[in-house]
Chains A and B, each alone.
Chain A
Amino acid sequence: MAAANDEEILEGFLCPICKADLKSASQLTSHFESLHQEEQDVLKSLKDIFGKAKKVILNADDTQLKETFDRALKFNSQEYYPYEEQTVGVSRSTTDYFKAVRSARLERFATETNKLLIRLDKLVCSMPSDPNLRKQHEQEVVPWLDGTSVKLCPNCAKTFSLTRRKHHCRLCGSILCHDCSVFLDLNVARTIVDPSAPQTSQEHEVNEKNGLRLCEHCYKLVELRKQVQENRNAKTVLVTAYEQMRGLMDQAQPAVAMYEKMCQSLFDGETTYNLSDVNAMRGRIGKLAEGIGLLSKQIAALPVEPNMRQAKVQEHIRQAAAHYIKEELLSLRKLPTEAQIEEVRRERYERAQKQIQLERQRVELEREWRSEAESSGSRSNGATHDDDNPLLEQMNIIRQYIKDARKELRFEEVAILEKNLKELKKEYQLQMLSYKS
């Protein structure tokens, strides 16, 4: 992995003068020094003309590379632009107006569509298979228009004749010719009235036998309803996998935040978390990253029809996930080593000790001063050094809790419990002190 990356980096070592790709930095510099002596002079004279070129990065011999780069490349916008709070600009919603117009228009459609659907339901639910009975059934549900006075097809305005027979729309009962009628597959009709019915998706020609003859208007309304219905239920493999992936990402977000917090606490020398805790957390984030990576690969590999945008979507999801993993989950801070932690903790401990020492001295002084003033004090000695002290008991219980929480990687709880434990310890110490005095 490292070697491969190495090559990738080296790819772009272009000489600024002749633009040859020189494969490595050392080669580039030697090339530059040997071949472009004059150009260097040109560059130098250029700089001279421009006068005081700033010596920003010249004194960077022994410092770390990272620092140099940071100094040269990191852009601190605060330096350049004063901080200014900015809120999102003005916007105006016209959604309400839009919806008002839309619903006024759709209401008319809706009542009509509902009427059609009730009829459709009656038609398909108890449809006899016998053609004659079926016709009778259909006429019972929807009264057919009397066609005697109709000479022309209302849709295409052609005269009815022996070859151009009169037909009826099964939903509204109006008259139309064969060319103007549309057929709705009976199976499809069943799924429209009852979405739970099994979907049969085999392609076959729909004719008078296995379909319902409809006029264009009714067909459009029913079709519209069908599409709205389908939209509601559209949930593919892709969507499920994608939602899973996003779910993992949602889990990763707080985990990373927690990790940062724990890491910081280690560096500060606090004893709230152990190194092993933080490592476990790191492991968990790694697991999540792995899961996200796996799901995104799955998504990218889902079969798609050629030349469809679906493929692009899946590829982009994969890209985004890879980027997310790289930037958010794998660029975690490096953990300190045990030795470093010891070091920090010792320093902290020493500091605390010093503090305590000072405190004690102050108390000593105070006491001396007080005892001089009072000369004698009533000594009520109630040293109850029993193990039944409720504070101790509570502390033990909390210790047990912490252990359990650690095991289950619930580090927020660990932090709270540790805090409690600390408070208890303090309380206990105070108690002891008060007993002594």
Chain B
Amino acid sequence: MNVVQAVKMYITKMTEESGPGMKVILMDKETTSIVSMVFSQSEILQKEVYLFERIDSHAKWDNLKHMKCIVFVRPTSENIALLSRELRCPKYGVYFIYFSNVVSKADIKTLAECDEQETVREVQEVFADYLAVDRHLFSFNIIGCLHGRSWNQQHLQRCSQGLLALLLSLKRRPVIRYEAGSEVSARLADRVRELVRREAVLMDNNIPFNGDVPPPQLLILDRRDDPVTPLLSQWTYQAMVHELLTINNNRVSLAHVPDVHKDFKEVVLSAEQDEFYAKNLYSNFGEIGQTMKSLMDEFQKKAKSHQKVESIADMKNFVETYPLFKKMSGTVTKHITVVGELSSCVARRHLMEVSELEQELVCHSDHGKQQQRLKAMLANESLRAEDVTRLVALYGLRYEKHAGNVLPALVDTLRKRAPDCAALPVLLLEYGGAHARQSDLFGLQDADKITKRLFRGLSGVENIYTQHTPLLKDTLEDLIKGKLRENLYPICGGDDLSAGRRPQDVIVFIVGGATYEESLCVRQINQANPGVRVVLGGTNIHNSTSFLEEVKSAMQGVHRTHTRHIRNI
């Protein structure tokens, strides 16, 4: 269940089926992202693809009849129209058409009628219809999937099609479960089930039925059940880069950094192509600093010894080792730049202090002390307004039902400081407050969890910045042990789980977006449970900024029902 590999194999298949010869690949906006997530340009060039074009570009192009054209597009009506136009006046010699999802017969007919020059050799559906972020992580890059607390129809369609594609690409025929308390999860589960039912023949013909292992499970969750995780500061490399610099399709822009080297204005962070990154993606910030320093020391040592290259043999040796040398210095200098920018962010925004209080708020309960520290931070002008807002929001969620709740006063103070941000904590409370959650997010009721917390308190904390574990971890552990309660996570369409309760393959999808912290947690679960394979997906991969956008969109036009006591918003 490696989603990156699945997409890669599809693309390789496309380039191979068209046989030898010069090729051009014609894509739309989304498929361009899908391809660029898994292949670098130089890798694609090695597959004889020398030109990348967008089907929706309106530029007047010259004819390249000696080239083979691989078309890889989503089967949308716009794309069908654009492709019909292309086939009427073909610019390339022959066409191999691949749709990233199920395409209707009517659309095929339309295209066939346009192909008067008989240039089309192949028409296929392949199911690479999602962004493979990491081996166990995928996304649809949708921010704002909900509108007024219910699905945006277009996005519901996209997500259900995408999940169908995911199942087909991984060759899994799962039982679909969803969060009972969430209407949007139920809707999506229903839609996916309907699509799977419609493609039953395709599934039956291609996915062997194995009665020996328990069926895979597709679990659909709602972000509203855990609004806390996307709000926290992160300290592992990948998550931190996303939180502070934003990763967009594996790319990070450093253009705003003063004096940045011209090669590093935009850097690509892809575990598939960058071994240093692959190795350190889940290391924490301190460890990376350590690794880099020792590498620099080593480099310098070697550089010194290389200053006296005297004999020809020495020089030859140098040249022989040169590719490694250059490659190494290339990726490491890139990461030094990124880490440098991260550390200056941490210092500038006093994120250590902020993070400490964040973790205190979500992992411990000491209302009086925390409230005082929060007030002090609100008064501290050197902190960024956005960071303070996150703290107030966390407080609001954590102490929503506490007798001494001072949220209205905090919001008042926040408004004086940053009028634009004051509404956010309240909005978040409406979005993911106790009324919207079915799980015990802060572990207040469950006796089991309370003892766990006590134990953690007794044994001491290893790292005060990474105490928090996402709710997803508990959910997944329960699921793998077969203990996830069926009344809280029912099975779509009334199927029963008699075939087996302890699934080996699990696909979790979070409506409202997943986070890199959760991705790390999924990886840990995969490592800790040999034989169990979990893949995580979300409508988007969030950092706090994009998550707040998500919340704004979801709450647009919704009347406040649970926070009416807070006025002046």
From B10, B66, B123, B286, name the one whose CB has the most chain A CB atoms within 10 angstroms.
Answer: B286
Compute how far the CA of A108 lies from the CA of B202 in the bound complex, rounded to whole angstroms. 34
Tell me the complex Cα distance, A331–B330, Å. 18
**Would you list which residues of chain B between 303 and 361 have a CB under 8 Å from chain A?**
303-304, 309, 315, 318-326, 328-334, 336-337, 339-340, 343-344, 347, 352
Q: Determine whether the beta carbon of A5 is less than 8 Å from that of B322.
A: yes
Question: Given the complex of chains A and B, what is the CA–CA distance between A46 and B123 in angstroms?
Answer: 56
Q: Does B123 lie within 8 Å of A9, measured CB to CB?
A: no
Q: A53 with B260: in contact, given A86-B9, A313-B22 (CB under 8 Å)? A: no
Q: How many CB-defined contacts (below 8 Å) exist between A and B?
A: 271
Chain A contacts for B108, CB-based, 8 A: 94, 97-98, 101
CA separation between A86 and B136, bound complex, in Å? 14
Tell whether, in the assembled complex, residue A14 and residue B328 are in contact, meaning their CB atoms are under 8 Å apart.
Answer: no
Smallest beta-carbon distance A300→chain B, Å? 12
Q: Which residue of A lies closest to B526 (CB)?
A: A81
Give A93's nearest chain B residue, CB to CB. B124
Q: How far is the CB of B379 from chain A (nearest CB, A)?
A: 25
Residues of chain B in range 127-171 having any CB-CB distance to chain A below 8 Å: 127-128, 135, 168-171
Complex-state Cα separation, A91 to B17, whole angstroms:
13
Within 8 A of B (CB), among A1-36: 1-2, 5, 8-9, 11-17, 19-21, 24-26, 28-29
Closest to B45 in A: A320
Rounded to whole Å, the gap between the CB of A232 and the closest CB of chain B is 9
Chain A's interface: helix, strand, loop or mixed, by majority?
helix
A15 → B minimal CB distance (Å): 8
Give the distance in Å from the alpha carbon of A230 to the alpha carbon of B463 in the complex.
Answer: 71
CB of A90 within 8 A of CB of B285, answer no
Known: A86-B2, A86-B6, A93-B123. A53 touches B287 (CB 8 A): yes
Most buried by B among A9, A53, A86, A98: A98
Say yes or no: is A391 at the interface (Cβ < 8 Å to chain B). Answer: no
CB interface residues, B 442-471, toward A, < 8 Å: 462-465
**Residue numbers in B under 8 Å from A95 (CB-CB):** 121-124
Q: Which residues of B contact A19 (CB under 8 A)?
A: 257-260, 337, 340
Contacting B at CB under 8 A, from A330-382, are: 331, 334
- Determine if B564 is an interface residue (Cβ-Cβ < 8 Å): no
Q: Nearest Cβ distance between residue B236 and chain A, in whole angstroms?
A: 11
Determine how close the nearest CB of chain A comes to the CB of B405; give it in whole angstroms. 31
User: Which of B276-284, B367-375, B393-401, B508-516 touches A?
Assistant: B276-284
Interface flag for B377 (CB, 8 Å): no
Q: Is B195 an interface residue (CB 8 A)?
A: no
Contact A246 B113 (CB under 8 A): no
Contact count band on A: 35 or more
What residues of chain A lie closer than 8 Å to B261, measured between beta carbons?
A: 11-12, 14, 21
Q: Does B223 contact A (CB under 8 A)?
A: no
- Check if B340 sits within 8 Å of A50, measured CB to CB: no
Q: Does A43 have its Cβ within 8 Å of any Cβ on chain B?
A: yes
User: With A50-B287, A73-B275, A101-B108 given, is the CB distance from A94 to B9 under 8 Å?
Assistant: no
Interface hit among A61-69, A117-125, A127-135, A211-219: A61-69
Residues of B within 8 A of A57 (CB): 291, 294-295, 298
Q: Given A58-B294, A84-B2, A98-B120, A90 and B168 touching (CB < 8 A)?
A: yes
Whether the Cβ atoms of A334 and B320 lie closer than 8 Å is yes
Q: B416 on the interface (CB 8 Å rule)?
A: no
Indicate if A312 sits at the interface (CB-CB under 8 A): yes
What 1/0 mask marks residues of chain A from 69 to 108 whose CB sits below 8 Å from any chain B CB?
A: 1001111010011101011111111110111111001100
Most buried by A among B9, B290, B337, B526: B290
Alpha-carbon distance between A100 and B115 when the two chains are bound, in angstroms: 12
Count, chain B residues at interface, CB 8 A? 120
Whether A91 contacts B287 by the Cβ 8 Å rule is no
B66 touches A14 (CB 8 A): no
Task: Say yes or no: B319 contacts A1, CB within 8 Å.
Answer: yes
Complex CA gap A50/B465 in Å reads 8
CA distance A89 to B5 in the complex (A): 10
Partner of A234 from the list B65, B257, B296, B340 (CB cut-off 8 Å) is B65
Please give me the residue from chain A that is nearest to B304 by CB atom. A26
Supposing A94-B123, A316-B51 touch, asked if A25 and B303 sit within 8 A by C-beta, the answer is yes
Interface string of B1-35 (1 = CB under 8 A from A): 11001100110010000001010100000000000
List the B residue with the shortest CB-CB distance to A247: B20
Which residues of chain B have C-beta atoms less than 8 A from A151's C-beta?
Answer: none
Which residue among A5, A28, A65, A77 has the maximum number of chain B CB atoms within 10 Å of its CB? A65
A29-B297 contact, Cβ under 8 Å, with A51-B462, A75-B279: yes
Question: Is residue B111 contacting chain A, with contact meaning CB distance below 8 A?
Answer: yes
Task: Tell whether, in the assembled complex, residue B45 and residue A316 are in contact, meaning their CB atoms are under 8 Å apart.
Answer: yes
> Does B105 have its Cβ within 8 Å of any Cβ on chain A?
yes
A312 near B296 (CB under 8 angstroms)?
no
Contact with B along A231-251 (1 / 0, CB 8 A): 100111011001000100000
Mostly helix, strand, loop or mixed at chain B's interface?
helix
Given A69-B324, A101-B109, A88 and B333 contact (CB-CB distance below 8 Å): no
Contacts of B235 in A (CB 8 A): 50
Decide yes or no whether B530 CB sits under 8 A from chain A.
yes
B64 touches A310 (CB 8 A): yes
Task: List residues of chain B with CB within 8 A of the CB of A287.
Answer: none
Cβ distance B251 to chain A, nearest Cβ, rounded Å: 19
Is there a chain B Cβ closer than 8 Å to A317's Cβ? yes
Q: Which of A44-58 contact B (CB under 8 A)?
A: 46-47, 49-54, 56-58
Q: Which residues of B contact A162 (CB under 8 A)?
A: none
**Cα(A154)–Cα(B111), bound, Å:** 30
Among A57, A75, A91, A305, residue most surrounded by chain B Cβ atoms (within 10 Å): A91
A91–B125 CB distance below 8 A: yes
Q: Measured between alpha carbons, how far is A20 from B333 in the docked complex, in Å? A: 12
Q: Are B331 and A73 closer than 8 Å at their CB atoms?
A: yes
Contact A93 B286 (CB under 8 A): no
> What is the CB-to-nearest-CB distance from A113 to chain B, in angstroms, rounded to a whole number?
11
Q: Does B256 contact A (CB under 8 A)?
A: no
Given contacts A86-B5, A91-B126, A317-B22, contact A101 B112 (CB under 8 A): yes
Chain B residue numbers with a CB within 8 Å of A24 are 303
Query: Are A246 and B20 within 8 A (Cβ)?
Result: yes
Establish whether residues B2 and A81, one from each chain, have CB atoms under 8 Å apart when the complex forms. Answer: yes
Nearest to A77 among chain B residues (CB) is: B278
B67: Cβ under 8 A from any A Cβ:
yes
**Complex contacts, B45 vs chain A, CB 8 Å:** 316, 319-320, 323
Chain A residues contacting B93 (CB-CB under 8 Å) are 231, 234
In whole angstroms, how far apart are the Cα atoms of A50 and B291 in the complex?
A: 14
Q: How far is the CA of A228 from the CA of B118 in the complex (A)?
A: 8
Cβ A84 vs Cβ B336 within 8 A: no
Chain A residue contacts of B126, Cβ below 8 A: 89, 91
Further pairs besides A91-B125, A334-B320: 20, Cβ < 8 Å = A2-B309, A16-B336, A28-B296, A29-B296, A46-B289, A49-B465, A60-B294, A69-B295, A72-B291, A80-B527, A81-B135, A89-B171, A91-B13, A93-B122, A95-B123, A95-B124, A97-B123, A101-B113, A231-B119, A309-B62
Sorted from nearest, which 10 A-B pairs have the closest CB atoms? A89-B169, A50-B286, A101-B112, A12-B333, A16-B340, A25-B300, A320-B45, A316-B50, A75-B275, A47-B286
Interface residues of A (CB under 8 A from B): 1-2, 5, 8-9, 11-17, 19-21, 24-26, 28-29, 42-43, 46-47, 49-54, 56-58, 60, 65-66, 68-69, 72-75, 77, 80-82, 84, 86-95, 97-102, 105-106, 109, 224, 227-228, 230-231, 234-236, 238-239, 242, 246, 305, 308-310, 312-313, 316-317, 319-320, 323-324, 326, 331, 334
- 7 pairs, A vs B, C-beta closer than 8 Å: A12-B329, A28-B300, A47-B286, A81-B2, A94-B103, A95-B123, A317-B50
